[in-house]
Structure 1
Amino acid sequence: MDLPLPSSDAQAHSEKLTRAIQQQIAAAGGWLSFAGFMEALLYAPGLGYYTAGAHKFGAAGDFITAPGMTGLFGQALARQVAQIMAQSAPVVLEVGAGTGRLAADLLLELECLEALPASYCILDLSADLRQRQQATLAAEAPHLLERVRWLDALPEDFSGVVVANELLDAMPADLVAWRENGIFARGVALAANGEFVWEERPATGELLAAAREIGEQCQLPPGFESEISLACRAWAAEWGHRLQRGALLLIDYGFPRREFYHQQRARGTLMCHYRHFAHPDPFYLPGLQDVTVHVDFTAIIAAAHGNGLELLGYTSQGQFLLNCGILDRLAALPAATPDYIRAASAVNKLLMPHEMGELFKVIAIGRGLDEHSPEPLCGFVSGDQSRRL
């Protein structure tokens, strides 16, 4: 691959993580599930992509998320957040808050809407990102910083709005292969020289049951390879025990099941991001690149529904943002100024089907919202695609 070379310090960091994973594989008997490998790549203490201090977001990082493109994303999302808080409780919990950009935009817009939460909670595993979030909020919304608090774990019970933008795609996933002679988990072993190599073993337990169900539903032929994220399912199901009243707003790239496991994706959706280059090799520079898989939204709602939560809406990001008035927010900017031109370009990327508008989806899952309210959730009033799940 013709990718940018890391600095000597970054290379040394990657080699340190590589040695740690090699030791982990050896201790596990010579084989590690891909979910275990992906978890180590991203979250190994002090070494993983999200737990070390490497710059990840923006032009100098490996990718740009929607909040980093324009503040209008958070301003539009704030309308939906305010509506759900009005029907549940004035509390927001953002899981995986990145640089804190979305938190700042949401808080400032909720202030304009006279709908500030009593508490804005952030749950993030990275100490480095917590520091960046604190710095962003101190710079952009210092008068609202006292409303923000950082959590170390999910609350035992919660009422309000849970926001997660590009969280699910970074949860560990197993790689699965449907073969002529059965269903196999694709894991990682070590070659004689210590390099990572693929090795398949028969799938067992919960993974095998999930793969059988998917294979039957989608009529997968032998040779089909894809991903199953048991971690995403478990996370969604857990909210059935913790969410008392309110909703989860989950924004990520993915598909309903029958589109996820479609013949055109017969090699899955695994993708790595390094310095704004996308490629499929998860063995490249461990710890220095993001490793992601798309989201099976059917699995998300099935897990949540099985624990008492209900589907409140599902649509494309583009349609959701239009429903939440992002074009009105754009129109409020002074026309023909540099700020307007930059914002218009970003909004175009967020909305257009060939950009992020169709690939990214928004799903709302909840419990106990005001049953007497005549208004549906504003982000899903038009173009709801729940039937596709």
Structure 2
Amino acid sequence: MQSNEGDSVSAALSRRIDEAITAAGGWLGFDRFMAMALYEPGLGYYSRESRKFGALPESGSDFVTAPELSPLFGRALARQVAQALAAAGSGEVWEFGAGSGALAAQLLESLGERVTRYTIVDLSGSLRARQRERLAAFGDKLRWVDALPERMAGVIVGNEVLDAMPVQLLHFDSAQWLERGVALEGGRFVWSDRPTELRPPVDAAFAPGSVTEIHAQARAFVATLAERLERGAAFFIDYGFPEAEYWHPQRRGGTLMCHRAHRSDEDPLADVGEKDITAHVDFTGIALAAQDAGLDVVGYTTQARFLMNCGILDLLRGADVRTTANTQKLLTEHEMGELFKVIGLAKGIELDPIGFAHGDRTHTL
């Protein structure tokens, strides 16, 4: 029954995208396609009723995030959040894209009375319902909004948020850059390129056939945060690279990836709405957008180094075997420790963040 419902939702989403392509003259930029595939109300991957987060595919989940792997992730991050809250003289925490609510629960439990209000900004109605159920014990401290307020103060957190923001695609055909979009052919979605003035932000020796992403929406998001954050800090954790690694000539295929049933594939045009679509984060672009908009970049490092700076090894003492094994996945290089990075931003406060005390890589951005 669930499979039939999924097929029905996917077919309805495909028809909606068909209509959008037709209305746009037969070509839709990939950023618009990705936005519809992920967030179209009631139909997109994050808007539909299905389980996304879990440790194993047997649970019906598609991928696991750090808070689901180990409760020590949130407990360690809470130490950094507590320091930033004190510097801001605030008790407000804002989380973007709260997923299953696991991180919110860990932060709220760890921070206790230091948090007077915890605001979740999430576009997905289905995920918000699950978050409310999971976080019911925290009562009036919680609120949900679907848009940024005009003014904010406090600490902002986002775990695996930037990677899910729609991206534009560029294709280099050896003579010129083309924007890669989506068209219809024989009732199927197909790639279609057209000339564009868009360019990667680096002047590198791109090989013919190279495909890469432009992160305009993520940069705009950070700029908007900067405009509305009056006093406080923001910490974003995600997989990605600094500019020199992101646009390395050997990365010819870009970073676009899909996730379903704990497996990955590189075809976002298939099974639309039934799998996640992501792109690695260009952390140099995020840092530049933040600085241009008035934020200070107060740190950038690997997830492993950040968590160790925040005392996760102390928290591991006395932990059971399962927690220890799962926490190691957050730290080891071949798992999440090296690929995932943390960037810290601040405005209007004096902050020397503990999470970047050792191993800061801001100089690589």
Task: Say if 2:201 is the partner of 1:213.
Answer: yes
- C-alpha distance in 2 between matches for 1:102 and 1:332: 22
Letter in 1 for 2:187: G
Q: Partner of 1:154: helix, strand, or coil? A: coil
Q: CA deviation at 1:197?
A: 0.7
Q: CA deviation at 1:213?
A: 3.2
Given the alignment, which residue of 21, 28, 50 partners 2:17? 21
Q: CA deviation at 1:179?
A: 2.8
1:149-298 mapped onto 2 (5 Å cutoff): 149-191=143-185, 193-204=186-197, 208=198, 211-214=199-202, 216=203, 218-298=204-284
- C-alpha distance in 2 between matches for 1:123 and 1:17: 24
- C-alpha distance in 1 between matches for 2:194 and 2:240: 27
Q: Partner of 2:250: helix, strand, or coil? A: helix
Indicate the residue corresponding to 2:359 in structure 1: 383
Q: CA deviation at 1:55?
A: 1.1
Task: Say if 2:52 is the partner of 1:56.
Answer: yes
- C-alpha distance in 2 between matches for 1:332 and 1:341: 9
- C-alpha distance in 2 between matches for 1:83 and 1:158: 18
CA spacing shift, 1:299–1:137, aligned 2, 3 Å: same
- For structure 1, the 5+ residue unaligned runs are 1-5, 334-339
Task: Say if 2:71 is the partner of 1:71.
Answer: yes
Q: CA deviation at 1:212?
A: 4.9
Indicate the residue corresponding to 1:324 in structure 2: 310
Q: CA deviation at 1:10?
A: 1.2
Task: Say if 2:328 is the partner of 1:348.
Answer: yes
Q: Partner of 1:12: helix, strand, or coil? A: helix
1:355-366 mapped onto 2 (5 Å cutoff): 355-366=335-346
Q: Decide whether the 8 Å contact of 1:11 with 1:285 is kept in 2.
A: no
Q: Decide whether the 8 Å contact of 1:100 with 1:133 is kept in 2.
A: yes
Q: Partner of 2:330: helix, strand, or coil? A: helix
Write the deviation string for residues 24-47 of structure 1: whole angstroms up to 9, x where unpaired: 101110000110110010011110
TM-score, normalised relative to structure 2: 0.96
Indicate the residue corresponding to 1:133 in structure 2: 131
RMSD of aligned C-alpha atoms? Answer: 1.3
Q: CA deviation at 1:70?
A: 1.1
Q: CA deviation at 1:152?
A: 2.2
Indicate the residue corresponding to 1:108 in structure 2: 109
Letter in 1 for 2:91: P
Indicate the residue corresponding to 1:10 in structure 2: 6
Q: Partner of 2:135: helix, strand, or coil? A: helix
Write the deviation string for residues 232-278 of structure 1: whole angstroms up to 9, x where unpaired: 01001112211111111000000001101112311100100011110
- C-alpha distance in 1 between matches for 2:200 and 2:134: 46
- C-alpha distance in 2 between matches for 1:249 and 1:181: 40
- C-alpha distance in 1 between matches for 2:3 and 2:165: 27
Q: CA deviation at 1:332?
A: 4.0
- C-alpha distance in 1 between matches for 2:196 and 2:283: 22
Q: Decide whether the 8 Å contact of 2:205 with 2:249 is kept in 1.
A: no
